[in-house]
Amino acid sequence: MENIRIGIVGLGRLGKVHAFNISQNIPGACLVAACSLDKRELEYARNQLHVEETYSQYEEMIENSNLDAVCIVSPSGFHAEQIQLAMKKGLHVFSEKPMGLNIKEIENTIKIIDQCPNQVFQLGFMRRYDDSYKYAKKLVDNGEIGELTVIRCYGIDPSSGLESFVKFAKASNSGGLFSDMSIHDIDLVRWFSGKEVNRVWAMGKNAAYPELDQVNELETGVALMQLEDKTMAILVAGRNAIHGYHVETELIGTKGMLRIAQVPEKNLVTIFNEHGMVRPTSQNFPERFREAFICELKEFVECIQKNRQSEVTAYDGLQATKVAIACQRSVDTNQIIDIK
Amino acid sequence: MENIRIGIVGLGRLGKVHAFNISQNIPGACLVAACSLDKRELEYARNQLHVEETYSQYEEMIENSNLDAVCIVSPSGFHAEQIQLAMKKGLHVFSEKPMGLNIKEIENTIKIIDQCPNQVFQLGFMRRYDDSYKYAKKLVDNGEIGELTVIRCYGIDPSSGLESFVKFAKASNSGGLFSDMSIHDIDLVRWFSGKEVNRVWAMGKNAAYPELDQVNELETGVALMQLEDKTMAILVAGRNAIHGYHVETELIGTKGMLRIAQVPEKNLVTIFNEHGMVRPTSQNFPERFREAFICELKEFVECIQKNRQSEVTAYDGLQATKVAIACQRSVDTNQIIDIK
Amino acid sequence: MENIRIGIVGLGRLGKVHAFNISQNIPGACLVAACSLDKRELEYARNQLHVEETYSQYEEMIENSNLDAVCIVSPSGFHAEQIQLAMKKGLHVFSEKPMGLNIKEIENTIKIIDQCPNQVFQLGFMRRYDDSYKYAKKLVDNGEIGELTVIRCYGIDPSSGLESFVKFAKASNSGGLFSDMSIHDIDLVRWFSGKEVNRVWAMGKNAAYPELDQVNELETGVALMQLEDKTMAILVAGRNAIHGYHVETELIGTKGMLRIAQVPEKNLVTIFNEHGMVRPTSQNFPERFREAFICELKEFVECIQKNRQSEVTAYDGLQATKVAIACQRSVDTNQIIDIK
Amino acid sequence: MENIRIGIVGLGRLGKVHAFNISQNIPGACLVAACSLDKRELEYARNQLHVEETYSQYEEMIENSNLDAVCIVSPSGFHAEQIQLAMKKGLHVFSEKPMGLNIKEIENTIKIIDQCPNQVFQLGFMRRYDDSYKYAKKLVDNGEIGELTVIRCYGIDPSSGLESFVKFAKASNSGGLFSDMSIHDIDLVRWFSGKEVNRVWAMGKNAAYPELDQVNELETGVALMQLEDKTMAILVAGRNAIHGYHVETELIGTKGMLRIAQVPEKNLVTIFNEHGMVRPTSQNFPERFREAFICELKEFVECIQKNRQSEVTAYDGLQATKVAIACQRSVDTNQIIDIK
């Protein structure tokens, strides 16, 4: 079987992770083209990853590079259009979340995706491919913890990035804490429960950097959600975890409880020193989800090879975004928001 | 110094704990009288604890027993009146929560307490006297985790008691999950933050025993609360922890996070067997808070001896009850409730 | 029943713990006399603990104070003689380990104890009364981990005391690391296995303070022991735990493994900060074994009240000392020592 | 750069792991030939891994397949000869431990390896390439825990394999528990300390299967070792871990302690159920060291590509085997064995 020829757009932090994986860690795939507006990023692709063709224009790349598939890791504002162009061009598409900035845009994109049933579309909800999450999902699906009653999801970025976030928050809006940070958690809530979110109340507090109030951004936020079957879900999102990258998920059921990364342990090392007993913790998403990023792309490639669709659909992207937007609206109004 | 002469009313499960402690574990105090409607409970007091005077009427006990203080562990509906009677009689009062079933009743009781500034009044928020909670409070007060942004409190009873709860739920209303279970957690939120709760949204799900819907009781509930300074608090309350008695508190601050009983470890034993690595967990409140129950009564006695007031005031009881009632109203209406 | 009248000899660090417990925490006992050569210690007993009679001479105390029992917490060199005097005087005796400095002395003491079958003698192997150790013992006795094959015991003192140990090591010999530190562990090996130690090879290393080589003392040591039924036991003893007081015991059986204080957790608090996830650890023996010190004395008092003997016998003291002495001889010769 | 052409000999359990990794997970390498006496294993190689050339004779494979390198995963008795043949043929060699069954054989092999300084030789001490071990090594080398005083290594196989081990123990000698299980641990002791082992005392106990006594095999064993600088090392080896695959290493230093896999956690999932709090554990070596097996082969390939030698030398293999043999001799004689 021929190698799947993939082109990537966007070579920022996460883009580099995907580019490296496609070129090194995904048997059956090869990275043949890269697109970015940043020349140093393209140099990296050529020199470090031996990518042959580099572009500053996305349209040019998908026109000229004889690709089988694209991997979209550009800024969120470009996702919808780039997905649509690739789909129309007959390419398989792996896209980072979100699928678009608003519901209308996403719905239009889905229409186009739906017109191409033989092309694979997969969204980058990589947590579903993490060993610990998969292990938990299996236990839940096997009924080990009974019927779910409460789901608690923490997604807190390391504080090391907070200062620069504050600096640039004025210039470029993040889309809001819940869209930016919680969308993976919202997907987990839907994935574990198999249910949709009906109502949400969300709020936030800017304690370390009160000036974030002025640019309508949040340092730390909480959302409480009621699902269609009355299952309850709690989101804590933040940008200020001193100990690193804190992604934790809890599932409370009628027959037991499960926690994924109750402590986000970096490895199996325990240290006893003047502080007491210390477990080092994961410092960032590329470290925590290193394997998951590889596995989701292996799945994408296998879907292409075996001519089937991925478990993570465009519809999942739509629904997660709906909830994230409702969270933000709840913060803005300090009222419960119903999700239709 | 003479021993403080204490009479106890109520010798149920928690009453027995207090009675045993007063008679055995509190230097400077002695249990001289006990009151209960249940003859076997009075026999227990006489035979096991060598209590000399036993009564079926509370008024009689406080009239005849030459007491310095009373310890009130009767059913919640009697608390307010019994506190008032003891106060008027010149006795020091240690009372279990809640102070009363409604706000009016509690406010009246506080008026009477306030008229007796030389008598000690202490409410049974024993968690404040638990070693781990005290250790955490000190760290928080020392600024170790910066300014608080999120407080998460779990109070989940062991599932071993759920079946009988369901059986009797029709006959005797518990006052609601949040009043019954979360009042200690609400006190912790106020204690750690030093702030009052402004708004709350609460909900529940009956998954193991859907029949609880019909008697307006909850098996598992969640509340999200906004404090006056925007600090966020999450309550999870329940009656269905398979692994035992799960009381866990988390404090997220701008400089770190703290968890008390992230795992409610029963002791220091770790077992490796066919299940993997196992830590046994606390099975019930008398086990988990054994020491705290002793320490709160030591504090009560010391307050009497040193002629000072306890840290846990009647006002704390009032405020916690207000929030618990608001949680219940929120469940009933599925709306946000503002607390005045 | 009358209170048991107890006199204490020795009011050093551990002596103060016992004195406080007898006067405050042991129902049915009272501390009526204290003996020490240090005037400030006697003042402490009088002023803090309200002990009525204080002595500088042990013989005087047991002669004059109308005691029921003595608690011996004097320097090790006095134990044997003080036990013998008290026994001959008809008193019940609780003595700290070791029972004496050499085997001959201990055997003579046991002869005298054996002549007083109606007097209680108990040795201060308090770990047997610790909740976690009791829980583990029950599991082992119930066969939960099958037949024991390996027992591993760590007894490592906090490094905070090491510098002063080094300073005074020249002047006053500790009796050796294994006699000083491992005797509790040797008792645990015998208690859990029900078997005697046959052979031992022990060694040490002075890395932080190589000057300890010159005074024949050890900073850290290890012993490997073969029991009569081929069960293997490992001792690690030390004076240099940076994180505090590390007493850990492991039991490997044919059906599972057990660890007591795998992490010597101070309480139930977990901290997430710049170091990662931190569990504070126990800092010293009074903290770690606070409850056990109370429980062993409660048992002593109950033995007197119920006219029965304690589980911890003089013979246990003899056997543990034999093994500790063999360990030291093994260090001195770097050879395997057989224990007859 | 051309792909490194590798042939593998041995396709048992570990052989399959290496074969799969070479064919899928090692960029820059390809598996072109496989050799086994078992036809089904060769079918696996052809059908699952698309290996083109399969052989039943090792000599034939290295003669005919135009290889750059061989990966030796055959039974231990063949290692020495196969290494020598490959080296003489000019091939790079990756070999599983041990390098041979006796010291003479290994020394001869080393002579031949030393005559081929431009060919890479690497021994399969994969633990050195495990993330957690690498992290610990860095901390130790940075002086974070000061000077090492005690190293403790557990290597215990899952009990799931014990029954069949007992069955076949009579027919085929394992080489002894310490050679079979502890050789990786011995390498860790040398790697972490940078010192050689001088003296050892080892012993064992057959409790679950006493019949192992008759075939001179051990179910569980312990060795105490004294290193040249007096550092102490403890080995616990076994074949009977109910909870899975227990490989744990502890490093005690003058400034702190480190543990690698204190609990051999399978993943980041924690379960709360009727047993208490449960962490699932690793079940076998392919699971626990999945990544390490990949990393050691990546290193091997990089050594070839960059024309340098691996950190894991033939001499490491020799020294580890010397110690393992001394452990067995100590078990046989129940005496301390000096290692020259």
In chain D, residues 44-103 whose CB comes closer than 8 Å to chain C:
none
Question: Cα D158 from chain centroid?
Answer: 16
Indicate the burial class of D316 (C-beta count within 10 angstroms; 0-12, 13-18, 19 or more). Answer: buried
| C-alpha to C-alpha distance for B89 and B84, rounded to whole angstroms | 9
Q: Is there a contact between A239 and A157 (Cβ–Cβ < 8 Å)?
A: yes
Please state, in angstroms and rounded to a whole number, the distance separating the CA atoms of residues C216 and C333. Answer: 12
Interval A288-316 mean pLDDT: 97
Is residue B268's pLDDT more than 80?
yes
**C231 to chain D, minimum CA–CA distance in Å?**
6
Q: Do B208 and A150 touch (CB under 8 A)?
A: no
User: What does DSSP say about strands B269-273 and B276-279: parallel, antiparallel, or unpaired?
Assistant: antiparallel
List of domains in chain D: 4-119 (3.40.50.720), 128-289+320-338 (3.30.360.10)
CA distance B248 to chain C (A): 10
Residues D166, D212 contacting (CB under 8 angstroms): yes
Beta-carbon count within 10 A of C176 CB: 23
* Cis amide leading into C286 (omega within 30): no
The mean of the pLDDT values for chain C is 96
Do residues C26 and C294 make contact, with C-beta atoms less than 8 angstroms apart? yes
The Cα–Cα gap between C140 and C125 comes to: 19
D243 contacts B275? CB cut-off 8 A: yes
pLDDT value of residue C175: 81
**Is some CB atom of chain D closer than 8 A to the CB atom of A278?**
no
Taking an 8 Å cut-off on Cβ atoms, the answer to whether D132 and A268 are in contact is yes
Give the CB-side neighbour count of residue A329, counting CA atoms within 13 A: 13
Mean pLDDT of C95-104: 94
What strands lie across the sheet with A53-55, from one edge to the other? Answer: A53-55, A29-35, A4-9, A69-72, A92-95, A121-123
> How many other CB atoms sit within 10 Å of the CB of residue C315?
14
Q: CA-to-CA distance for B334 and B329, rounded, in angstroms? A: 8
Whether residue B277 and residue D270 make contact (CB cut-off 8 A), yes or no, is: no
Interface check for D259 against chain A (CB to CB < 8 A): the answer is yes
Beta pairing, strands D276-279 & D269-273: antiparallel
Please tell me if residue A287 touches chain D, with a CB cutoff of 8 Å.
no
pLDDT value of position D21 = 97
Per-residue pLDDT at A169: 83
B260 token code pair? 């008390």
> In degrees rounded to 5, what are phi and psi of residue A221?
-145, 160
Question: Residues A150, B237: contact at Cβ < 8 Å?
Answer: no
H helix intervals, chain C: 13-24, 39-49, 58-64, 79-88, 103-114, 131-141, 162-169, 177, 183-193, 285-288, 290-306, 314-333
Angle at A158 between CA A154 and CA A160, to 5 degrees: 165
Is the previous residue joined to D117 through a cis bond, with omega within 30 degrees of 0? no
pLDDT at C62: 97
pLDDT tens-digit readout, C268-285: 999 999 999 999 999 999
DSSP, residue by residue, B214-243? GGT--SEEEEEEEETTS-EEEEEEEEEETT
**Above 70 in pLDDT, residue C40?**
yes
pLDDT of B175: 81
If we measure between CA atoms, which residue out of C134, C20, C95, C53 comes closest to residue C317? C95
SS3 content of chain D, % helix, strand, coil (to 5): 45, 25, 30
Residues 6+ positions from B39 with CB-CB distance below 8 Å: none
Those residues of chain D that have pLDDT short of 50 are none
User: Which amino acid is present at C252?
Assistant: I
What are the tokens at B237?
A: 């309350």
The H-assigned helical ranges of chain A are 13-24, 39-49, 58-64, 79-88, 103-114, 131-141, 162-169, 177-181, 183-193, 285-288, 290-306, 314-333
CB contact under 8 A, D276 and B277: no
Q: Which two tokens stand for residue A277?
A: 């007993």
List strand residue ranges (DSSP E) for chain D, in order. Answer: 4-9, 29-35, 53-55, 69-72, 92-95, 121-123, 148-158, 197-205, 220-227, 232-241, 246-253, 256-260, 269-273, 276-279, 337-338
Given a contact cutoff of 8 angstroms between Cβ atoms, the answer to whether B108 and B135 are in contact is no
**Is the CB of C277 less than 8 angstroms away from the CB of A275?**
no
Predicted confidence (pLDDT) at residue C176 exceeds the cutoff of 70:
yes
**Rounded to the nearest 10 degrees, what angle do helices D314-333 and D183-193 cross at?**
120
Name the residue among D81, D82, D78 with its Cα closest to residue D70. Answer: D82
Which of D241, D265, D275 is the closest to B278 by Cβ? D275
> Measuring CA to CA, which residue among A318, A299, A295 is closest to residue A98?
A318
- Residues in chain A with CB shorter than 8 Å from the CB of D278 are none
Give the integer Cα–Cα distance in Å for D11 and D18: 9
Q: In what order do the strands lie in the sheet with C29-35?
A: C53-55, C29-35, C4-9, C69-72, C92-95, C121-123
Q: How far is D83 from C274, CA to CA, in rounded Å?
A: 48
Structure tokens at A164: 């620069």
Q: Which helix (H) or strand (E) holds B9?
A: strand B4-9
Long-range contacts of D159-164 (CB under 8 A, 24+ apart): D159/D208, D159/D239, D159/D240, D159/D241, D159/D242, D160/D283, D161/D239, D162/D208, D162/D209, D162/D219, D162/D239, D162/D240
Question: How sure is the predictor about B90, in pLDDT bands with cuts at 50, 70 and 90?
Answer: very high
Question: What's the rounded mean pLDDT across residues C81-93?
Answer: 98
How wide is the angle at C-alpha B71 spanned by C-alphas B68 and B73, nearest 5°? 160
- Dist. CA C301–CA C27, nearest whole Å: 9
Q: Do D281 and B277 touch (CB under 8 A)?
A: yes
Q: How far is C263 from chain A (nearest CA, A)?
A: 7
User: Span C202-221, mean pLDDT?
Assistant: 95
Residue B63 binned pLDDT confidence (cut-offs 50, 70, 90) = very high
Minimum Cα–Cα distance from C236: chain D residue: D150
Q: Hey, are the CB atoms on A254 and B234 less than 8 Å from each other?
A: no
Using CB atoms, pick whichever of B256, B260, B271 lies closest to residue C273.
B256
pLDDT of residue A174: 74
- Tell me which residue has tokens 């398989």: A92
Contact state of B242 with A255 under an 8 Å Cβ cutoff: yes
**Residue B171: per-residue pLDDT:** 77
Among C275, C284, C288, the residue to mutate for chain A (most A Cβ within 10 A): C275
Instruction: Tell me the chain A residues in contact with residue D136 when contact means C-beta distances shorter than 8 Å.
Output: 269
With the C-alpha atoms ordered C21, C12, C293, C4, is the resulting torsion angle positive or negative?
negative
Closest approach of A194 to chain B, Cα-based (Å): 16
Q: What pLDDT, in 10s, does the model give residues A165-186?
A: 998 887 777 789 999 899 999 9
Q: Are B226 and B213 in contact (CB under 8 A)?
A: no
Sign of CA dihedral B61, B67, B68, B69: negative
Cβ contacts from A onto C, under 8 A: 53
Q: With CA atoms as reference, report the closest residue to C18 among C67, C86, C70.
A: C70
- Find chain D residues with C-beta within 8 A of A273's C-beta: 144-145, 255-257
Query: Given this model, what pLDDT does residue A138 score?
Result: 98
Q: Specify the DSSP class assigned to residue B100.
A: -
User: What residue spans of chain B are helical by DSSP H?
Assistant: 13-24, 39-49, 58-64, 79-88, 103-114, 131-141, 162-169, 177-181, 183-193, 285-288, 290-306, 314-333
pLDDT in tens, B141-182: 999 999 999 999 999 999 999 999 998 887 777 789 999 899
Q: At what angle do helices B183-193 and B131-141 cross, to 10 degrees?
A: 30
Q: Which of A196, A176, A232, A201 is nearest to A340 (CA)?
A: A196
Closest chain C C-alpha to D237 CA, distance in angstroms: 10
| Rounded-to-integer distance, Cα C156 and Cα C177, Å | 10
> Is the predicted pLDDT of residue C111 greater than 90, yes or no?
yes
CB atoms D255 and A273 under 8 Å: yes
The verdict on D279 touching C (C-beta cutoff 8 Å) is no
Residues 6 or more apart in contact with residue A219 via CB below 8 angstroms: A162, A177, A204, A205, A206, A207, A208, A209, A212, A238, A239, A240, B149
* Residue C1: predicted pLDDT: 66
Residues 6+ apart with CB under 8 A from D72: D8, D9, D10, D78, D79, D82, D83, D86, D93, D94, D95, D96
Residue pair C200/C327 in contact (Cβ under 8 Å)? The answer is: yes
Longest dimension (CA), chain D: 62
Higher pLDDT residue, B57 or C173? B57
Sign of CA dihedral C118, C119, C123, C127: positive
Helix spans in B25-94 (H): 39-49, 58-64, 79-88
Name the nearest CA neighbour of B156 among B200, B204, B98.
B204
- Residue with the larger pLDDT of the pair B58 and B172: B58
| Chains in contact with chain D (at least 3 beta-carbon pairs closer than 8 A) | A, B, C
pLDDT at B1 over 70: no
A273 in contact with chain C, both atoms CB, cutoff 8 A: yes
Distance of alpha carbon C292 from alpha carbon C244, whole angstroms: 18
pLDDT at A340: 83
Nearest-5° Cα angle at A226, A221 to A231: 115
* DSSP-assigned beta bridge partners for residue D54: D34
CB-CB neighbors (< 8 A) of D276 in chain B: 243-244, 266, 278-281
As beta bridge partners, residue D78 has none
